[in-house]
A and B are shown apart, each in its own frame.
Chain A
Amino acid sequence: MTAIELRNLSKSFGPVKAVDDVSFAVEAGTVTGYLGPNGAGKTTTLRCLLGLVRADSGAALVNGRPYVELERPLSEVGAVLEATNFHPGRSARNHLRVMCTAAGLPVSRADEALEQVGLTDAADKRVAGFSLGMRQRLGLAAALLGHPKVFILDEPANGLDPAGIQWLRGFLRHLAHERGAAVLVSSHVLSEVEQTVDNVVIIAKGRLVHQGPLAELTAGREQRVRVRTADADKLAAALEDSGARVERAGNGVLWVHGLDQETVGRVALERQILISEIAQERSDLQRAFLELTGEPQADTPAMKGGAPR
């Protein structure tokens, strides 16, 4: 049975189509990244999936059933939404204990889950004094209470420090690949999840624009090489002679299409042109993502402070 399944899900808020005919599935044992810019409809989709928002049409199913029909939802689905959903006057432990009571879980689960996310020392502190990162961890602890096999996380990396993000990545991979859970994790920053996810689903302005394995995102895309030299005109001419297409980004930086790093270096060597920097583009994934979602690209030449073209 498919762990998470969306079929032609649509939801409007007034005239705004927040989610428009979105369909995808998440299988057990995999991590799926649900990506898109802010306001693309990610949160609305996840809230429909969790029965918090009523979809206009289509189906959102967890383990084959709508969330609101699950008998023991905490034992089937662990959800982490915004890190602000806590009463500031209640301690971390009491927050989890209330959930255990309502869900019919043993109260001991509260302390176990706190230990799992590394919050044992802060268990009796009131949430008002928690950092954003600690709140994210508390949210994750809440998701773990019922030992679910499906996880739905909305921007869980928000507010985590680099060590926390590293820890989260490992934790999500552990849940999916070792415990066989289905994990759906949303983010507006591809680089946050690209080391974690097996599959990506990309949404922009409410519509699904791409889904498939992460590797497919860059397949068939041309690579480009960034090279910096004091003599940009001469190098550009030389590279174009060798069959490359060259974009000038100003400040002596060239984007070279159609040649690999080694060839670009050899051309420079043959023409005796000094280069100070050469690199394969850092993240083609990010570029593919930005192109798919129609966002302006911060690293295109046109955006670089009025450089001559």
Chain B
Amino acid sequence: MIALVRAELQKLFTTRLWWAMLIAMLLYTGANVGLITAVAGVETAQGASGVPGRDTIHFQQLVWSLGVGATVFTMIVGIVMMTAEYRYQTVTGTFLVTPRRGRVVAAKLLAGVVVGVLYGLATLLLTAAVVIPAVMLSGGEVVLFGEGVPRIMLGVLAALTLYVLFGIGLGALIRNQVGAIIGGIVWVFLIEALLANLPPLQTVGKWTPGGAANSLINVRIDTGFGEADLLPAWAGAAVLIGYAVIFSLVASQTTVRRDIT
């Protein structure tokens, strides 16, 4: 199984998508982190600031959590890991080498975990590179191992990783690369965003993968809509694991029995 996971990683790292998507994700998260840092503590015309000052712990919690907004990028990596096999018919060769298809799916999911963690670590490094100097320059105290910061970091890692698995499951289900990517984007930017941000829908939204990820990084900041209705962190973690299991089952059930013509 280790050999198969290595082969799956080799497949990803011998094509150009992985670094293009990594750069895109870091640019996106970097822009968010930079923007929030720039406006931190700045008073608006109404006299109140939406973002806490750079010397506060709330600022640090908020910035550490921003990486979770880039789940769409790792989702696309997951989608491509699965759908590229069908798009380029490489699935034929893959199943000739490993005719027990359940093993291929398992290897892809494990490779997806590795990829998600790598993207997550890159995100956290980028965040650290901004947040640490920003806090120090404004005279605050850098907190890395308390005040919920480790939980937030883990939440970012878990969310980015889970969306790779979500992408793999979605790709196995839809198989058409463009269709799967469009479906995934609609889910993240439309459905999940509506469910998570409109207060009346949050009772449903907190159970979505995005809502569960938000419960892990919950920083309890009122950005004008009122505090979000979220699950407790432990329940969010359990929901995420549940989704990982569901996506894995979807990916293997849709792949194992199908004729490859």
Docked-complex contact A68 and B100, CB < 8 angstroms: yes
Q: Which of B14, B96, B98 has most chain A Cβ within 10 Å?
A: B96
With A52-B260, A102-B7, A104-B3 already in contact, the answer to whether A68 and B99 are too (CB < 8 A) is: yes
Q: Which residues of the other chain, B, contact A44 by a CB distance below 8 angstroms?
A: 261
Chain A residues within CB distance 8 Å of chain B: 13, 43-44, 47, 50-54, 67-70, 73-74, 77, 79, 81-82, 84-91, 94, 97-99, 101-104, 142
Q: Are A54 and B90 in contact (CB under 8 A)?
A: no
CB distance from B218 to the nearest CB of A (A): 40
Whole-angstrom distance between the alpha carbons of A91 and B16 in the complex?
11
Q: Is the interface of A mostly helix, strand, loop or mixed?
A: mixed
User: Considering the chains assembled together, what is the distance between the CA atoms of A69 and B92 in angstroms?
Assistant: 17
Interface pair B96/A101, CB less than 8 Å apart: no
* B6 lies within 8 A of A101 (CB): yes
- List, in ascending order, chain A residues with CB within 8 A of B95's CB: 51-52
Q: Shortest distance in angstroms between A112's beta carbon and chain B's nearest beta carbon?
A: 17
- State A240–B97 Cα separation when bound (angstroms): 63
Q: Are A52 and B92 interface neighbours, CB within 8 A? A: yes
- Residues B259 and A53 in contact, CB atoms below 8 Å apart: yes
Q: Is the interface of B mostly helix, strand, loop or mixed?
A: helix
Indicate if B220 sits at the interface (CB-CB under 8 A): no
User: Is residue B49 within 8 Å, beta carbon to beta carbon, of the partner chain?
Assistant: no
Residue from the list A53, A54, A102, A142 in contact with B98, Cβ < 8 A: A102
CA distance A223 to B11 in the complex (A): 56
Q: Is the CB of A99 within 8 A of B15?
A: no
Known: A51-B99, A68-B99. 4 other contacts (CB 8 A): A82-B89, A85-B89, A86-B90, A90-B14
- Complex CA distance for A94 and B94, rounded to whole angstroms: 14
Contact of A81 with B14 in the complex, beta carbons under 8 Å: no
B99, A98: Cβ atoms under 8 Å? no
Kindly state the separation between the CA atoms of A153 and B191 in the bound complex, as whole angstroms.
Answer: 48
Known contacts being A87-B15, A89-B16, A98-B11, is A67 close to B259, with CB within 8 Å?
no
In the complex, the answer to whether B90 meets A87 with C-beta atoms within 8 Å is yes
Contacts of A51 in B (CB 8 A): 95, 99
